[in-house]
Amino acid sequence: MSSITKKQQPSGQQSSLLDLAQEDPDLVRARKLAAELEYHNYLYHTLDAPIISDEAYDALYRELVALEERRPDLRTADSPTLRVGGRLLEGLSKKAHRHRMYGLDNVFSEQEWRDFVERMERAWDVQANGALPLTFWCDPKLDGLALEIIYENGVLQEALTRGDGEIGEVVTEAVRTIRTVPLRLHGADPLPVRLEVRGEVVLFRKDFVALNARQKALGRKTFSNARNAAAGTLRQLDLSETGSRPLRFLAYSLGEVDWGHAAPCLYHSALMARLSEYGFLTPPEGKLCFAPDEVVRYVQWVHDNRQNFPVDIDGAVAKQDNLEVQKVLGFTARAPRFAVAFKFPAMQAQTLLQAIEVQVGRTGALTPVAVLTPVAVGGVIVSRATLHNEAEIRKRDVRVGDTVIVQRAGDVIPEVVGPVLAMRPKDSQEFVFPSTCPACGQPVYREAGEAILRCANLSCPAVRLRSIIHFVSKTGLDVQGVGQKWIAQLVQCERIQSPADLFTLTVQELQQFERMGEKLAQNFVDALEAARTTAPLHRLVSALGIRHVGEQTARALAIRFHDLDALKNASIETLQAMPDIGPEVAASIHNFFASPANCVLMERFKTLGLWPTQGSCEASGDDEPERQLPVGPLSGKTILFTGTLSVPRGKAQQWAESVGAVHLSGVSKKLDYLVAGEKAGSKLEKARLLGVTVLDEAAFRKLLEESGVLFA
Ligand code: IVH
């Protein structure tokens, strides 16, 4: 921090801080406060590692505001008090970039990348320059808004949007409100005389979700994606609004630069390190790749992990690492010859909403589903998407015949974001939600405070079908090889009326179904048999489909209770005494077991031998004593499997869970162990990058044995 304070003195000035303090103590205090506030702002917003409380920060901030009010002459162009905005701009003026802000050419395949490298080689004069180095700085392509921030002698002077590349809009005031933008470059002198830092303004996904929730609560329009929200925010004229939205700036290149006495950067990789030193955030997971092949692997990794990034990304960018080589290669009319963007398939697309169907779920919930003209979204063809509920259809004003924006985010079910109003047909009509269940014709009801309509008929065929599908699904018993279509047929012909009926199916009778061969029928029965005999208790609890009881709660219940009887007999008070179980969940569990039909189902499970238990504690009357978690090297550890193991991954997961390990769905810093089999790919690479412990199968089995698992 002292270097920040020191650096604010004009160079060559002889008077010491002590002299100044005697002459003008307010000036010294103002500078000290500004430097401290900026330092804590950087720790909090850029490094995510604050060292003082919000209250302590606010106290310093208020002191500076009061000081500047009393002495307006002390208010500098880089004062942290300007970050809060609070002013209203009349409009945005325009200004030319000193260096054009080029776009990037795109490549969509490995071949196109190789063609790009070949073009680069052709443009390179080997005779004059020697061999072309093929080392590339690679980073994710951020889906935000390009921005240029100009620093003179280390102080932020101006910020311009990309505009058309030649002329941008002046957004200096708005950019000052972005907490991750240094108002003054960090680091010791000498600083560059002029530095045009380019990068992307983005909203992190979590901030976008929170912003939309706030917009909704305030009855304002919501944004269809984080990019639009970031763009809208930056060009906002009400700066107090801009300041209240957590935009971030991630720096990735330079415009014009006059290094002055500062050491120039010769490599893009060095530049990225320098930008961090100056106090900027840079794109996450940037990497230096030493050959075109390595670039391909990097791009694939970013693609496979795009959902784990905190920010929306729509590709990856590869840039020649040597800045002198960049200069020699130069630009075509459109784009640089030294850098290229690998574009990933878009996660949003436009298509026609052909119809709205109402689907009945296992809890009787009626969900409107959009039937769409098939369209590619994020590399997958989407023909149906959720519309959530009646209120959402109305709020988003979606009508049959509209051209709509469809969005996919990770594993989330595709959803309709909203209509493209300019393309709405004149005769379009609002959708009228049915007042009876489309599956059984019985009336529907809405619980107080709920947006969702439900079918109340306990024996509604759609509810039954969905419950059975859930029972065998991944969140249920996870029976692999039992397809939804077959279950639908079995329910339709009334061979199956409850999940228990599944376990009475025989190969012979299944073979009677058209297109069900002996092998398929055998697999079907085997898979159910395996589930019946090996499914752990928490899977069965989750499979029951008790409202508000998801996988996590099921796991907690299976640790606390010996078997389904013990869970059934638990009082509401006992349930509620468990961490994370509130009155609503406790009541839901209680009500489930209070239903005679469900009790009959439990008895049938017991008779059929689908009766997992956990631990050695016997149920003792009404309530059961607290059970201990298994202790061993894997208990409480998080684990994930990748690559090919000698047993199915599901089996390995069951083993791990049986000794108290918790299975995670992706690689993150929270992961304790990644068990990597043969041909492990991107998960392994990411685990190594994050420093996660990687086990091979033998080491995993050893830990299991130490936990008490016996292998034949
Ligand atoms: S480097 C000389 N790196 O994508 C070009 N650009 O489609 C230097 N973008 O206009 C740009 N993420 O606004 C670079 N990691 C990244 C980027 C990135 C997003 C933007 C940039 C550019 C556009 C081209």
The two structure tokens encoding residue 126? 């080997």
Query: 148: which strand partners?
Result: 160, 198
> What is the per-residue pLDDT for 625?
39
Q: Does the beta carbon of 149 lie inside 6 Å of ligand 1?
A: no
Return the H-helix or E-strand segment holding 140: strand 136-142
| Average pLDDT value for residue range 614-619 | 40
DSSP string for 197-263: EEEEEE--HHHHHHHHHHHHHTTPPPPSSHHHHHHHHHT-SBHHHHHHS--EEEEEEEEEEE-TTSP
Coil/strand/helix, residue 512: coil
- For the ranges 50-64, 336-350, 506-520, 625-639, which has the lowest average pLDDT? 625-639
Average pLDDT over residues 350-355: 94
Q: How far is CA 609 from the centre of its chain?
A: 41
Helix axes 25-41 and 54-70, enclosed angle (nearest 10): 140
| Residue percentage of the chain with pLDDT more than 90 | 57
Neighbouring C-alpha atoms within 13 Å toward the C-beta of 544: 30
Residue 37 has pLDDT above 80, yes or no: yes
Phi, psi angles (nearest 5°) of residue 640: -150, 150
The closest residue, in CA terms, to atom 23 on ligand 1 is 103
Q: Percent of the chain scored above 70 by pLDDT? A: 93
The tokens for 523 are: 């697999």
With bands split at pLDDT 50, 70 and 90, how would you rate the model's confidence at 657? confident
Q: Cα of 634 to ligand 1 centre, how many Å? A: 44
Q: What is the pLDDT of residue 137?
A: 98
Say whether 141 is catalytic: yes
Which of 40-49, 313-322, 480-489: highest mean pLDDT?
313-322
Residues 544, 237: Cα–Cα separation, whole Å: 53
Q: Is 320 in the pocket of ligand 1 (CB under 6 A)?
A: no
Q: Which segment, 63-72, 282-291, 326-335, 508-517, is predicted with the most confidence on average? A: 282-291
Task: Indicate whether 8 pLDDT > 50.
Answer: no
Q: In this predicted structure, what is the pLDDT of residue 630?
A: 55
Contact 147, 161 (CB under 8 A): yes
Q: What is the pLDDT of residues 259-288, one digit of tens each?
A: 999 999 999 999 999 999 999 999 999 999
Q: How far does residue 139's CA lie from ligand 1's centre (Å)?
A: 10
Neighbours of 266 (CB within 10 A): 12
Q: What is the CA radius of gyration of the chain?
A: 31
Q: For 657-707, give the secondary structure using H, E and C.
A: HHCCCEECCCCCCCCCEEEECECCCHHHHHHHHHCCEEECHHHHHHHHHHC
Note the pLDDT tens digit of each residue in 468-501: 999 999 889 999 888 889 999 999 899 999 999 9
- Count of Cβ atoms closer than 10 Å to residue 191 Cβ: 21
pLDDT tens digits for range 518-555: 999 999 999 999 999 999 999 999 999 999 998 888 98
Q: How confident is the model at residue 357 (pLDDT cuts 50, 70, 90)?
A: very high
Q: Is 690 left (phi over 0), alpha (psi -120 to 50) or beta?
A: alpha
The larger pLDDT score, comparing residue 269 to residue 446, is at: 269
Binned at pLDDT 50, 70 and 90, residue 16 comes out as low
- 147 touches ligand 1 (CB under 6 Å): no
CB atoms within 10 A of CB 36: 19
Please tell me if the CB atom of residue 36 comes closer than 6 angstroms to any atom of ligand 1: no
Mutate to test the pocket of ligand 1, among 317, 326, 343 (most ligand atoms within 8 A of CB): 317
Of 314 and 55, the one with more pLDDT: 314
CA distances in angstroms from 46 to 51, 183, 202, 498, 641, listed in the order given:
13, 13, 13, 54, 33
Average pLDDT over residues 453-458: 86
Whether the predicted pLDDT of 626 surpasses 50: no
How far is residue 230's CA from residue 212's CA, in Å, rounded to a whole number? 12
**pLDDT score, position 85:** 63
Mean pLDDT across 559-576: 90
Mean pLDDT of 246-250: 95
Question: Contact 679/295 with Cβ under 8 angstroms?
Answer: no
Q: Is the pLDDT of residue 41 over 70?
A: yes
Which pLDDT value is given to residue 55?
80
Ligand 1 centroid to 545 CA: how many Å? 47
Using a 6 Å cutoff on CB, does residue 183 contact ligand 1? no
**Tens digits of residue pLDDT in 162-192:** 988 999 999 999 999 999 999 999 987 799 9
Where do we find the tokens 């041909």? 679
Largest CA distance in the chain: 100
Q: Name the closest-CA residue to atom 13, ligand 1.
A: 146
Q: Which of 7, 32, 141, 683 is catalytic?
A: 141
Give the pLDDT band (50/70/90) at residue 232.
confident
How much distance in Å is there from the Cα of 405 to the middle of ligand 1? 25
Edge-to-edge, what's the strand order for the sheet holding 662-663?
662-663, 638-642, 673-676, 693-695
| Mean pLDDT score of the chain | 88
Residue nearest ligand 1's atom 17 by CA: 141
In this structure, of 318-327, 424-433, 535-544, 659-668, the range with the lowest mean pLDDT score is 659-668
pLDDT by residue (tens digit) across 77-119? Answer: 888 888 776 566 667 889 999 999 999 999 989 999 999 999 9
- Residue 314 Cβ < 6 Å to ligand 1: no
Give the pTM.
0.58
CB of residue 341 inside a 6 A radius of ligand 1? yes
| Enclosing H/E stretch for 356 | strand 348-360
DSSP, res 430: P
**Residue 312 CB–ligand 1 contact under 6 Å:** no
CA of 255 to the centre of ligand 1 (A): 12
Taking the centre of ligand 1 as the mean of its atom positions, its distance from the CA of residue 339, in whole angstroms, is 9
Of residues 111 and 456, more confidently modeled: 111
At residue 383 the predicted structure's pLDDT band, cuts being 50, 70 and 90, is very high
What values do phi and psi take at 365, rounded to 5? -65, 135
pLDDT at 631: 66
Residue in 216, 26, 229 with CA at minimum distance from that of residue 145: 229
| Higher per-residue pLDDT: 88 or 582 | 582
